[in-house]
């Protein structure tokens, strides 16, 4: 008997959603205390930049390992392991006393981050297949909501003077409760059907296209994360109290768009939704470039957030349905290509800005964002 029928689909959805929330909360918790840890370790801006690079290196190197472990032992087991180690590493991060220790801890943090990412997204693909309709965006919406929650809690704990170690220990305890209450209601390992498909295969054309779509989107997402404040400071020339408004606008519509994304995908179809998303991303960036004032730039960044919101959930959902690769391996391939965009985008902006100005660099990112629209026409699924 198929064990996926022994629990109501809604229970599976709630349980897997809890792990998306855990992952988003954990990452945002770390991000909220970076300034405090920087100060404690007496790191310069350049020194911090070098140290922080250990996290994406850990994420990138863990992609094939995560896919192999998920296929070998099942996504439930891998998700359990990563959901314990990921928040537990927060305590290790808060306990570091040197830059070298922080680099090692961040590498591990990135390793567990991508391990839980691959496992929980593979679980989400399985739950979506049970529902028979698009629900992937709602999982990613909860990640974004958890990120907002983590940022708010971080601000509160900073304001009351809690040390990063105490703060991180509290979040670790909360994460443990989430794991204990949700783990048994996730999809069992034997339902993944991973063994029927090869693990190490060359990505086919369809997977490569999905990866390039993710790349086009994540170039823009990386630009928003690292350069939105600088853009508002240097180009829009806003007062200091308004320099973060662009990023706040971007994250707000990204989270909102993800909760609306499933309905929109059902209404318009994945291909049209991807084409629309790319067009909105490009339009938003060009509005901010052509009209660099507070209102229009903020409006542009609002559009970028909405455009970005559904792309990654859609391509993950499509990758998980691959007929030539296991779901976890296909997700890892798409994540690898997409994540390169997140890494390349920010330094690319910096290089172009140094030689030709920040507005021109954002205009180029707008062109790259349109790759989502262009490549969506080449996917076979409608």
Q: Is the pLDDT of residue 255 over 80?
A: yes
List the one residue out of 330, 306, 36 whose CA is nearest residue 199: 330
Q: Give percent of the chain above pLDDT 90.
A: 40
Confidence class of residue 194 from pLDDT cuts 50, 70 and 90? very low
Residues whose CB is less than 8 angstroms from the CB of residue 42 and which lie 6 or more positions away in sequence, other chains included: none
- pLDDT for the residue 192: 44
Distance CA 380, CA 264 (A): 19
Number of helical H runs and strand E runs in the chain: 16, 0
Q: Give percent of the chain above pLDDT 70.
A: 92
pLDDT tens across 41-89, in order? 998 866 777 787 788 788 878 877 887 888 788 889 999 999 999 999 9
Biggest CA–CA distance in the chain, Å, is 64
Distance CA 345, CA 227 (A): 10
List the one residue out of 112, 254, 262, 238 whose CA is nearest residue 175: 112
Distance CA 359, CA 349 (A): 10
Q: What's the average model confidence in pLDDT over 120-136? A: 87
The DSSP code for 187 is: P
Q: What's the average model confidence in pLDDT over 132-143? A: 86
- pLDDT for the residue 47: 78
Distance CA 276, CA 96 (A): 45
The residue with greater pLDDT, 381 or 272, is: 272
Cα angle 90-245-33, degrees, rounded to a multiple of 5: 15
Q: What's the average model confidence in pLDDT over 319-326? A: 81
The DSSP code sequence of 212-267 is HHHHHHHHHHHHHHHHHHHHHHHTS---GGGTTHHHHHHHHHHHHHHHHHHHHHHH
Pick from 88-92, 265-269, 308-312, 344-348: least confident:
344-348
CB 137 within 8 A of CB 314: yes
Q: Is the pLDDT of residue 199 over 90?
A: no
List the one residue out of 142, 163, 36, 16 whose CA is nearest residue 76: 16
- Mean predicted lDDT score pLDDT of the chain: 86
Looking at the chain, the domain(s) classified CATH 1.20.1250.20 span 3-190, 205-376
Confidence class of residue 202 from pLDDT cuts 50, 70 and 90? low
DSSP, collapsed to helix, strand or coil, labels residue 269 as: coil
Domain 3-190 CATH (choose: 3.60.15.10, 3.20.19.10, 1.20.1250.20, 3.40.190.10) = 1.20.1250.20
Distance CA 312, CA 289 (A): 25
Q: What fold, for 205-376?
A: Growth Hormone; Chain: A; (1.20.1250)
- pLDDT for the residue 88: 97
The DSSP code sequence of 7-63 is S-HHHHHHHHHHHHHHHHHHHHHHHHTHHHHHHHTT--HHHHHHHHTHHHHHHHHHH
pTM value is 0.77
pLDDT tens across 107-122, in order? 999 999 989 988 998 8
CB 70 within 8 A of CB 122: yes
pLDDT tens across 159-170, in order? 888 999 999 999
Q: Is the pLDDT of residue 254 over 50?
A: yes
Confidence class of residue 2 from pLDDT cuts 50, 70 and 90? very low
List the one residue out of 215, 216, 240, 220 whose CA is nearest residue 230: 240
Distance CA 243, CA 113 (A): 29
Confidence class of residue 158 from pLDDT cuts 50, 70 and 90? confident
Confidence class of residue 140 from pLDDT cuts 50, 70 and 90? confident
Phi, psi of 236 (to 5 degrees): -70, -25
């Amino acid at each position: 008997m198929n064990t996926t029928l022994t629990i109501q689909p809604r229970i599976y959805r709630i349980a897997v959603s809890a792990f998306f929330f855990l992952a988003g909360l954990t990452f945002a918790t770390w991000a909220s205390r970076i300034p405090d840890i920087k100060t404690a370790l007496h790191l310069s801006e350049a020194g911090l930049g070098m140290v922080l690079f250990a996290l994406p290196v850990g994420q990138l190197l863990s992609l094939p390992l995560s896919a192999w472990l998920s296929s070998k032992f099942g996504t439930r087991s891998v998700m359990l392991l990563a959901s314990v180690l990921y928040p537990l590493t927060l305590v290790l991060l808060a306990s570091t006393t040197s830059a070298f220790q922080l680099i090692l801890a961040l590498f591990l943090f990135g390793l567990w981050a991508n391990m839980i990412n691959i496992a929980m997204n593979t679980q989400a693909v399985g739950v979506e297949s049970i529902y028979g309709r698009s629900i992937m965006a709602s999982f990613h919406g909860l990640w974004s909501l958890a990120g907002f929650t983590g940022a708010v809690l971080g601000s509160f704990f900073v304001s009351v003077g809690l040390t990063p170690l105490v703060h991180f220990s509290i979040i670790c305890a909360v994460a443990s409760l989430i794991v204990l209450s949700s783990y048994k209601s996730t999809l069992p390992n034997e339902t993944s059907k991973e063994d029927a498909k090869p693990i190490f295969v060359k990505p086919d054309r369809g997977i490569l296209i999905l990866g390039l779509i993710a790349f086009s989107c994540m170039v823009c997402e990386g630009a928003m994360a690292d350069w939105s404040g600088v853009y508002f400071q240097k180009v829009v020339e806003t007062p200091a109290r308004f320099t973060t408004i662009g990023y706040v606008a971007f994250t707000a519509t990204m989270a909102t768009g993800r909760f609306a994304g499933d309905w929109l995908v059902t209404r318009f179809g994945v291909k049209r939704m991807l084409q629309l998303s790319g067009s909105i991303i490009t339009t938003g960036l060009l509005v901010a470039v052509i009209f660099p004032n507070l209102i229009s730039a903020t409006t542009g960044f609002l559009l970028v957030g909405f455009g970005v919101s559904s792309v990654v959930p859609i391509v993950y959902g499509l990758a998980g349905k691959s007929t030539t690769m296991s779901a976890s391996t296909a997700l890892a391939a798409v994540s690898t290509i997409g994540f390169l965009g997140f890494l390349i985008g920010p330094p690319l902006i910096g290089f172009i800005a140094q030689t030709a100005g920040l507005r021109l660099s954002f205009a180029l990112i707008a062109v790259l964002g349109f790759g989502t629209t262009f490549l969506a026409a080449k996917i076979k699924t409608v």
